[in-house]
Amino acid sequence: MPPPTARRPRRRLPVALLAAALGAAALGAPAPAAARDSADSPASGGSYLVGRGIADVTGEAAETGMMGYSSFDQKTSGIHQRQRSRAFVVVDRASGKRVVYVNADLAMIFQSVRQGVLARLQERYGSLYDEENVLLSATHTHSGPGGYSHHVAYNLSVLGFQNGTYRAIVDGIADSVAKAHDDLKPGTVSLGTGTLTNASVNRSRDAFDRNPAADRAAFPDAIDPAMTVLRFRQGDQDAGAISWFATHNTSITNRNTLISPDNKGYAAYVWEHGHEGVRHLDDTPGFVAAFPNTNAGDMSPNLNLKPGSGPTEDEFENTRVIGERQLDKAREIYDDARPVAGGVDSRLAYVDMEHVTVRGEYTPDGQEHRTCPAVVGASTLAGSVEDGPAIPSFEEGMRTPVAGILDALRIDTPSWLATCQYPKASLVPTGLLSKVHPVTPKILPLQIMKIGELHLVAAPGEFTITSGLRVRRTVARQLGVPLDRVLLQGYANAYSQYVTTPEEYDAQNYEGGSTLYGRYTLPAYQQEYDRIAESLREGTVLDAGPTPPDESGRQFSLQTGVVYDNPPAGRAFGGVLKAPEASYARGEKATAEFATGHPKNNVRRGSTFLEVQRLENGAWVRVLDDGAWETTYRWTRLNGLTGTSKATITWDIGADTAAGTYRIVHHGDAKNLFGKITPFTGATGSFTVK
């Protein structure tokens, strides 16, 4: 069937559907001789300087839209676990070159975040850390506050830009890098690989099956089971690990409104907190365990191919199980990792992805093709039914707070653009709209980072496993290294939705409909990464390309701030509204309620809204906080007119909890009519755990 050539009549789209469409997004062979700079030496403590750092990036914990599922109804109402940024700095002692790798418990790294973090680092370190040697990546949790992009498409369901969340993320990432910088010590880097086959499933199998047999043969079970682990040591002390594995960080569904880093965050927390004794609020250097994603575009953790299902029917239990499976495999690989040699280096170029001429050597038919101005496809409306339910029907004319903005953005897709994007059924031509206001990005950062023998292809989107494979093959061939020494690091440095193969694109499933720049998006990436890899291999200076604009001055927010807070009549802030029971057995749940203020008054970055304290030698000692898996902090508005709200704190008392005397403490902040914000603390009476 030939592509469409006629201009289609204009249709009015239900506002909620259009918003959903815009906001939906996600040891083998030895190293080559050229990479063997110098072997690790006990006398020198290793050929690298290694530093690690971790910091809080948790944003606004109440009445802020959440990023990932594009649901107007999913707004934060508290914290299950805090979000963290984990940073590693590696310096080649021979050449003096250094790189920064960051993985944060976020849905995406937007260009806005990258610009903000680089500005912070420049303030602190001048040109030491710059666009080329800093790689920022996200775990892709869908259970964090949103509104931190500078592009309208990713802020719509959040009701615009949320400065409090943006500041927490930028400041937290910059702090994690600063801690890693201050922590630099002589050390070694080791590499290990393995496979994990029970933590992912292909959610777009019919599209995957369209790929050539040679590609499908690389993934016999239609999943990417590879896990790659970098182990870092400082002298004779373990310092941290980065464990890459491809699975969506969506064990928790869009029914949830508590902030959570999901399955990958759970894995990181248990390794740090449970195995290494790290206590994040102590703010002292300790083991850092990052669990980043790779090419997870079509990889779901929901093993039964429906939200919140698989391996159990409890979404939080699934989070724990899928996280634990990643953790157990990572620790197994970590123990067998072998030291690597080779320097560190990086290259980055900005590419206008809407206007790439792709040479025939990268296209399936051997002919030259072009990418297109961004278009969101109609199939995006279906959502990924395995991870996020399809959008239910809405009545024509339905109004939302962003209806006026959407009305202004509605334009037809011209026939030339529909032809370029064929066979996509074009819904929203965001590339054309971006000429008026930033809707989706067009100039994207493409980066390759080398850490010893491992090469990270930093990709600003969600690549399917076959898309990732083709990029990795291209880069490995150019660099002359084994394929398992090249990883596709997804969700890195910016975000531009999905990248499918041309064959997968033709299926126009959710992932294909969300591939913004047309059928030849992936070949364009292969061509540009090939160019970058050549520069890295030859050691040449790379043309940086066009600089993305700073859109910080063009932001809007329709989300109201906090007007004022009041405690319930006869109570003070921090007062106990519901006390715990006098005693509990292990396995039971302790609950307390407090009069509180709005969490937006202070996100308490690097701190906590709760503590579980134990009485030890006559003093109360913190044993858990709001970053712990066992606790939850939930905020509830009691009366919007009077500004009254409560905090509900729960503690699931684990089987290994020490017997003793405990209490629950709540920290909060209240705003008066004159705008003054005052911190407060409340505590329950004591209770026992037997």
- Mark whether 585 and 629 lie in a shared domain: yes
**Domain co-membership, 523 together with 607:** no
Question: 320 is written with which tokens?
Answer: 């724990």
* Co-location of 286 and 253 in the same domain: yes
Distance CA 506, CA 578 (A): 57
> What pLDDT score was predicted for residue 403?
54
Residue 29 within any structural domain of the chain: no
- pLDDT for position 650: 98
Q: Are both 542 and 462 inside the same structural domain?
A: yes
3-state SS assignment for residue 325:
helix
Using CA atoms, how far apart are residues 126 and 258, in angstroms rounded to an integer?
38
Residue with tokens 């990732």, as numbered in its chain: 468
Quick check: is 395 in a domain? no
In a domain, 570, yes or no: no
Decide if 300 is catalytic.
yes
Residue 38 CB neighbours (<10 A): 15
Alpha carbon distance 418, 372 (integer Å)? 9
Grade residue 283 by pLDDT with cuts at 50, 70 and 90.
confident
Asked whether residue 542 is domain-assigned, the answer is yes
- Distance CA(533)–CA(516), nearest Å, equals 24
CB count within 10 Å of CB 461 equals 28
pTM listed for this prediction: 0.93
557, part of any domain: no
Residue 450: inside a domain, yes or no? yes
Eight-state DSSP code of residue 412: -
Residue that is last in its domain, among 552, 586, 603: 552
129 within 8 A of 123, measured Cβ to Cβ: no
330 and 200 both lie in a single domain: yes
Same domain, 201 and 111: yes
Q: Which pLDDT score is estimated for 411?
A: 78
Bridge partners (DSSP) listed for residue 426: 377
Query: CB-hemisphere CA count at 13 Å for 582?
Result: 0
Within a domain: 362: no
605: left (phi over 0), alpha (psi -120 to 50) or beta: beta
For 6-17, how does the pLDDT look when each residue is reduced to its tens digit (9 = 90+)? Answer: 333 333 344 444
Last residue of a domain, one of 485, 520, 552: 552
Give the end of a domain, one of 552, 568, 593: 552
CATH of the domain at 588: 2.60.40.2300
- Over the stretch 438-465, which tens digit does the pLDDT of each residue have? 999 999 999 999 999 999 999 999 999 9
> Which tokens hold the place of 59?
């944003």
For 189, the enclosing helix (H) or strand (E) is strand 185-195
pLDDT value, residue 404 = 56
Spell out where 432-501 has E strands.
443-451, 454-458, 462-463, 486-489, 498-499
Residue 624 CA, distance from chain mean position: 25
Query: Which domain does 532 fall in, by range?
Result: 45-351+441-552
Domain match, 599 and 658 both: yes
Distance CA 528, CA 278 (A): 41
Indicate if 537 and 580 belong to the same structural domain.
Answer: no
Please tell me the distance from the alpha carbon of residue 12 to that of residue 21, in angstroms, as a whole number.
14
pLDDT in tens, 502-541: 999 999 999 999 999 999 999 999 999 999 999 999 999 9
**Token duo for residue 642:** 């009077």
**How many Cβ atoms from other residues are within 10 Å of residue 37's Cβ?**
16
Residues 544 and 582 in one domain: no
Q: Which of 71, 137, 204, 300 is the catalytic position?
A: 300
When pLDDT is averaged across residues 245-257 and rounded to a whole number, the result is 98
Measured CA distances, 291 to 173, 178, 230 (Å)? 16, 20, 11
> What are 375-390's pLDDT values in tens digits?
999 887 666 666 765 4
Q: Cα–Cα distances in Å, from 456 out to 98, 111, 133?
A: 15, 19, 12
- 134 with 231, same domain: the answer is yes
The domain tally of the chain equals 2
Q: What is the DSSP string of 642-668?
A: TTEEEEEEEEE--TTPPPEEEEEEEEE
CB 464 within 8 A of CB 204: yes
Are 184 and 263 in the same domain?
A: yes
Q: Is 28 inside a domain boundary?
A: no
Angle between helices 262-269 and 315-336 (to 10 degrees): 50
Mean pLDDT for the chain overall: 91
Same domain? 149 vs 86: yes
